[in-house]
Structure 1
């Protein structure tokens, strides 16, 4: 039996208190990543309103285009991989959201994020198999929703509003929103009483036209959803100006059976005043003043929609929380989406090979075949495969952040299964080397995960190859403060750039300057600012690269290739395998992955001869590294890929 709607509504205040106090560190991190790209928000049912709220918040705070899709739309349409994609689902178990998740992960966009209320859901389990997904689990205190989404919708929207406001330096707006919402959700709220009195005359008419402005749109959208799903009455939506473009004609022909509900916020009060004065006086009109400023207005409009749903239900003899579900409705709910189109196999290409070619070229194999280009890329891939399988590697050089550890959790120890693979390399008699932009923190973490007996066989190239030492060397890296003579004037010039000083944390080391954004900002902005300083100051010999989390500027002669040179001093001309995640220029693995035997676990160069990403479809980062390393086996003091690897 579904919950009575009144029971669910009684928990809204508790839900808001939870949303305003729960730890949102992972959500803020995901929002920060999302802020670098346009966004597609995906949801169904009540979560579709949350998706609209997410899209609106994203566009408001980042200035980037955001749009909304249902799971069917998201799974069916081709969408560029540079768009960040978020799925919202309270329960994480419906067939639509699961199929959409499967389709989106297979496309490998820059970010897939999932906001879900159940840790033990099928959706959460699917995301764990694809760890590059930002899985954001927030268990709501009110428990599972009834027939209509109420607390999950309100809770998720409040979480998102808080995360965007705090992450984009508008926390003062969130503090105002908390004050507004606490007043609305109190048991003796005068504003709620006024809203109820004003809307009572509307329920004598079967059709309600809802007028709204930009910041109250989410409340109108949710009202339409709830009125339709609970069969409370006919509802039509229009913003104040779109109402003027023909939609007003409904009142001319069917005014006797219609009423008007208007959401009015401060930002659209003048337009609302002029519009509502023109509504014929015989038509019932409820004007609801929505207090606060963004994002408080959006949340207040949602509260209004939730309250109005209950009042309309009482007036029309329907409990919106348990309106009754017909048998055909249960069957409809369980119908699966059409199967998403997987990467099309062309002329016998395996799914893995098809994914590798699509990543390398930015086009599907089917499209390449139509252009007459597929054979050239298939040959290049086969040559690369054969080269890898024929080689016996005397050592393996790996990037650290984004390759050995997830860049989102880069200050945690490597996973046990990853440590097991690193130990396997050393046990085989081959050399293990780490080429990283970091310093002593990597030495500490590797020592914590690898037996001391192995340390002398592990090389570490600190600060992008500026210093190279075995893991047992207590004197490396050099902890001396300040930069080398070559970088000192540049460090001062960077610190003198006003926007960089405000937006980034600058860390000066002997042979490397690192810039990390303090807050969400356009990815290219930090790069452009630092590059402009280099060019203006005339430091053309310094090298500037990007990692997964920072901009690194290194002195002339500093390169991850120095790590390869050091290994070759011990191994001679034997092949060395290089693995990293930033193989596309100006990534900090670009030079490393230009080597003959180079695999990427994420971004790749356009070179057909090397730097391929051969990971299974829908995997990248640490999962891809594990896939590669698991296919290596020891052979007479070297490592070889198993026969049939990557097929």
Structure 2
């Protein structure tokens, strides 16, 4: 049975204290990634208010467009994969959020974030099967909500606000919010008591019009949700100016049955007061005064909405925490979403082949069939698969970040499963090499995890192939911070560029300069700045590549292909399998994945002859690498893909 609403309200202070101190490292990292693109936030019921919060924060702190969708809309309306997509669900178990999650995972958006309040939920379990998903688990201390979203909603709203403020330079904004919310979380505080008295007259009328400004929209949205879900009364929502565009007419015709609730902040006080002065005097008004900046007012409006839901409900004889659910309502809740309108895979393609062609071509195979282009892509895929099946590989070269380890956790060691597969292949006599933009940190991590007996058998190409040495060579790589003569003038020019000085960390090595953003900024911006300096400095012969977290500038002759050349000294001219994650130019695996036998685990080139991503639908990154490695088997001292691989 659901808990009484008063019990839920008594825990708001505890919930906010938790949100103010809980570790947000994972959430901040996900918010940082989301900040590089537009965003769609998806939720239903009370979590839809949290989705509105996420959208408001994203637009305010990043300046990028964001919108809200329900699970039904999200499952039916595919967006460009570059749009960050977030699902918000307190319980992580309802049929709608699960259906949306399954549909979105198969679309493989650049970022799929899932904010959930239950670690053991079906949603969390689904996401664990697809490690590219940013699974963000934040179970609030109050436990499961009653009938309406209360503590979970405040928890999500607070941690999202804190994460965006912290990640985008708004620490003062969060401090301001905590200072102004303190009194509102105390049951009998003077402010809360004043609000209760001010709103009492409007609950005597069946319809409430809620007027708000930009920063208090969250409170208004949540009031509409709760009044409707708990059948507390009719409630309409409008901002101060949209109210003037026809919505005021409700008061002209039904004013005797209506009251007005207005959220008033310093930012919109003048407009609010001029608007409220024009409302007929016989219509009761309740003005909820909120102080502080945008985040403080947004959070305060939500707390006000939670409290006013209780006051209105009790006045009207309804406990919002347990209003009673009719049997038909339970049946409605568990209705499944319509099955996605799947387009038949033409030409008897397997789901894995459908995904591979869609990734490579940028279009659905059914659409390619309609335009007469499918045969070309299918033939290219079949030819690539045939060559892979026939090849007997003399060695393997793998990128590291994004391929062996997840880029989000690149300073952690590779998974046990990955290490087991690498060791299995090395024990079988396979020649293995790693080509990375990093230096000795990769050596340290691999030495921690791989058996010492295998170290001499594994090559590491440091700094994008500037130096190649075996894993047991503790003197490699050269970690001095002095660039070679060819790069020294460029290194100095980069340090003089004002914007780079403010937004990036520069690391100099003998044959490589690495620029890593120190604040949220698009990869393309850091790339453009680096290219501009290179052009202005007249630097010749250097190459520039980028990864998900940095831009690397290397001297002439430096390439990950040097790793393949070094490997060939011991394996001869036999086929070499290359695996990486950034095969699209100017990704740092572009040259490596131009090899005839190249597999991507993420971004791919447009070349139909190589660099295909053949992972399972809804998978990318190290999980795909792991799948590739498990499908390899030893044959006569070489490696081959097992029969039936990639099906």
Shorter-chain TM range is over 0.9
Please name the residue that 1:198 is paired with: 198
Give the equivalent residue in structure 2 for 1:550.
550
Instruction: Render the CA deviation track for 1:426-454: whole Å, top value 9, x for unaligned.
Output: 12212000000011010011111111111
Matched with 1:489 is 489
2:298 is matched with 298
Q: CA deviation at 1:245?
A: 0.7
- For normalisation by structure 1, the TM-score amounts to 0.99
In 2, the alpha carbon distance for the partners of 1:342 and 1:364 equals 11
Between 1:216-225 and 1:264-273, the stretch displaced more is: 264-273
SS at match of 1:81: coil
Partner of 2:318: 318
Partner of 2:309: 309
Structure 2: gaps spanning 5 or more residues: none
Kept in 2: contact 1:343–1:351 (CA 8 A): no
Alignment of 1:119-134 (within 5 A): 119-134=119-134
- Contact 2:265 2:297 (8 Å CA) reproduced: yes
Q: Residue 636 of structure 1 corresponds to which residue in structure 2?
A: 636
Q: Secondary structure at the match of 1:376?
A: helix
Alignment pair present for 1:606 and 2:609: no
Give the equivalent residue in structure 2 for 1:501.
501
**Counterpart Cα distance in 2 of 1:400 and 1:152:** 38
Offset of residue 183 of structure 1: 2.1
Give the Cα–Cα distance (whole angstroms) in 2 for the partners of residues 217 and 347 of structure 1: 51
What's the RMSD between the two structures over aligned residues?
0.9
Deviations 1:315-367 (A, max 9, x none): 11111001011111111111111223457411211111110000001100011
Q: Could you tell me how far 1:185 is from its partner in structure 2?
A: 1.1
Give how far 1:591 is off. 0.2
Q: In the alignment, which residue of structure 1 is the partner of 2:428?
A: 428
Map of 1:504-523 to 2, 5 A cutoff?
Answer: 504-523=504-523
Question: Once the 2 structures are TM-superposed, how far is the Cα of residue 176 of structure 1 from its aligned partner?
Answer: 0.6
* 1:446-465 alignment runs, 5 A limit: 446-465=446-465
Question: 2:403 corresponds to which residue?
Answer: 403
Answer yes or no: is the 8 Å Cα contact 1:106–1:342 preserved in 2: no
In structure 1, distance between residues paired with 2:516 and 2:405: 18
Q: Secondary structure at the match of 1:295?
A: helix
Cα distance in 2 between the residues matched to 1:415 and 1:276: 61
Shift of 1:628: 0.8
Aligned partners of 1:392 and 1:252: how far apart in 2? Answer: 82
Counterpart mapping for 1:331-410 below 5 A? 331-342=331-342, 344-410=344-410
In structure 2, the residue matched to 1:39 is 39
Q: CA deviation at 1:139?
A: 1.4
Query: Secondary structure at the residue paired with 1:396?
Result: strand
Aligned counterpart, 2:272: 272
Distance 2:513 2:332 in 1: 58
In 2, are the aligned partners of 1:140 and 1:152 still within 8 Å (CA)? yes
Q: What is the DSSP-based 3-state SS (H/G/I as helix, E as strand, rest coil) of the residue aligned with 1:79?
A: coil
Distance 1:43 1:90 in 2: 10
> 1:11 is matched with which residue?
11
Alignment deviations for residues 591-636 of structure 1 (CA, whole Å, 9 cap, x no partner): 0000000000000000010000000100000111011111100011
Secondary structure of 2:75's aligned partner: helix
1:108 is matched with which residue? 108
Shift of 1:299: 0.4
Tell me what 2:74 maps to: 74
Residue 207 of structure 1 is matched in structure 2 by: 207
Unaligned regions of 5+ residues in structure 1, if any?
none
How far apart, CA to CA, are the structure 1 residues paired with 2:105 and 2:319? 39
In 1, Cα distance between equivalents of 2:6 and 2:356:
54
1:540 Cα deviation from its structure 2 partner: 3.5
Q: Return the offset for 1:189.
A: 2.2
Contact 1:428 1:635 (8 Å CA) reproduced: no
Q: CA deviation at 1:542?
A: 1.3
Q: Structure 1 stretch 258-267 or stretch 32-41: which is displaced more?
A: 258-267
Contact 1:343/1:355 (8 A) holds in 2: no
Q: Which residue in the other structure is 2:594 paired with?
A: 594
Q: Does structure 1 retain, via aligned residues, the 8 Å contact 2:92–2:118?
A: yes
Three-state SS of the structure 1 residue aligned to 2:610 is: coil
d(CA) in 2 for partners of 1:463, 1:375: 41
Matched, 1:216 2:216: yes
Counterpart in 2 of 1:328? 328
Per the TM alignment, residue 492 of structure 1 is displaced from its structure 2 partner at its CA by: 1.0
What residue number does 1:569 align with? 569
Residues 142-189 of structure 1: per-residue CA shift (max 9 Å, x gap): 010000000000100000000000000111110110101112113442
Aligned partners of 2:10 and 2:187 also within 8 Å: no
In the alignment, the residues of structure 2 paired with residue 327 and residue 428 of structure 1 have an alpha-carbon distance, to the nearest angstrom, of: 62
Number of aligned positions between the proteins: 647
Match of 1:535 in 2: 535
- Which range is displaced more, 355-364 or 507-516? 507-516
- Give the Cα–Cα distance (whole angstroms) in 2 for the partners of residues 425 and 492 of structure 1: 44
Matches of 1:512 and 1:20, distance apart in 2: 41
Which moves more between the two structures, 480-489 or 79-88?
480-489
Deviations 1:515-563 (A, max 9, x none): 1111212222111111111111111421111112111111111100000
Secondary structure at 2:348 match in 1: coil
Q: 1:111 and 1:597 mapped to 2: Cα distance?
A: 28
**550-559 or 141-150: which moved more?**
550-559
Q: Do residues 22 (structure 1) and 19 (structure 2) align? A: no
Cα pair 1:264 1:272 within 8 Å, conserved:
yes
- 1:488-509 per-residue CA deviation (whole Å, 9 max, x = no partner) reads 1111111111111111111111
Inter-partner Cα distance in structure 2 for 1:49 and 1:312: 19
Taking the aligned partners of 1:343 and 1:400, their CA distance within structure 2 comes to: 36
8 Å Cα contact 1:490-1:537 kept in structure 2: yes
1:93 to partner: Cα distance: 0.9
Q: Secondary structure at the match of 2:322?
A: coil
Deviation at 1:394, TM superposition (A): 0.4
Contact 1:404 1:414 survives alignment (8 Å): yes
The 10-residue stretch of structure 1 (501-510 or 605-614) with the greater mean CA deviation from structure 2: 501-510
Q: Which SS does the other structure have where 1:508 is aligned?
A: strand
What secondary structure, in the 3-state scheme, does the structure 2 residue paired with 1:624 have? helix
Taking the aligned partners of 2:480 and 2:216, their CA distance within structure 1 comes to 56
Q: Say if 1:435 and 1:465, in contact at 8 Å, map to a contact too.
A: yes
